Amino acid sequence: MYGATPDELAAAGGSSAEADTDVEPVPDVLQACEREVVRLLLLYAAQPLTEEMAVAQYIFGQLEETTIQTPIYADLLQLCRQEMEEGRWPEVRTFIQHGRSDIRMIVSDLATEKYELSPNWSTHQIYVPREVDQLQQACDNAILRLNKVNVQRELSIRLEALRHPMDELALLETLHTIKLLKKMDDDLGNMLGTVIPRGAM
């Protein structure tokens, strides 16, 4: 049986101490990323991104291989998918009357504006882009952040696995997977750097 040496842990991207602190990602981070994806889907489902694709179609296409971990958001996503399968766009007014109180509550919360612009902005004739005017960036940002958090979560699990005995083949496979995950994490970080964050303008 084999365990990872300190050098192998370092090469994989962290020491054993780092693995201890990073094994479990902060739940709020993953929930926040999933919440943002669902929020965009609910508020802008029918809004076109291109002549042939709306927000809902784009988001579902991007989430094909992604499992939503937060139960309430997974349920909402499934409800939205059912609406589309029945030929309707998901709408806030549909789910605000849902039989489940938790669905009604979260939809009401998601539909509420997070902030209000100061009247001074319009008084001074300062143009502030609305979210609806930059939906492609908002959707890309949300999907990339969700993917990055999921990759980091999987990376933490693999780093933790290195601290336990395993045979040589399993060790080599784990180290290879960690290398791939680190590259994915770096690539996603670079891609996020090209997307304008919500509220940054």
Domain presence at residue 121: no
What does the alpha-carbon distance between residue 74 and residue 80 come to, in Å, rounded to a whole number?
10
Domain presence at residue 199: no
Domain presence at residue 34: yes
Domain presence at residue 126: no
Domain that holds residue 107: 6-114+131-192
Total domains in the chain come to 1
What does the alpha-carbon distance between residue 128 and residue 131 come to, in Å, rounded to a whole number?
9
pLDDT in tens, 1-28: 444 454 544 555 544 444 444 434 345 8
pLDDT in tens, 90-104: 999 999 999 999 999
Task: Flag whether pLDDT at 37 surpasses 70.
Answer: yes
C-alpha 152, offset from chain centre = 12
pLDDT of residue 55: 96
Of the listed ranges 16-20, 49-53, 78-82, 178-182, the one predicted with least confidence: 16-20
Domain presence at residue 119: no
What does the alpha-carbon distance between residue 98 and residue 70 come to, in Å, rounded to a whole number?
19
pLDDT of residue 115: 44
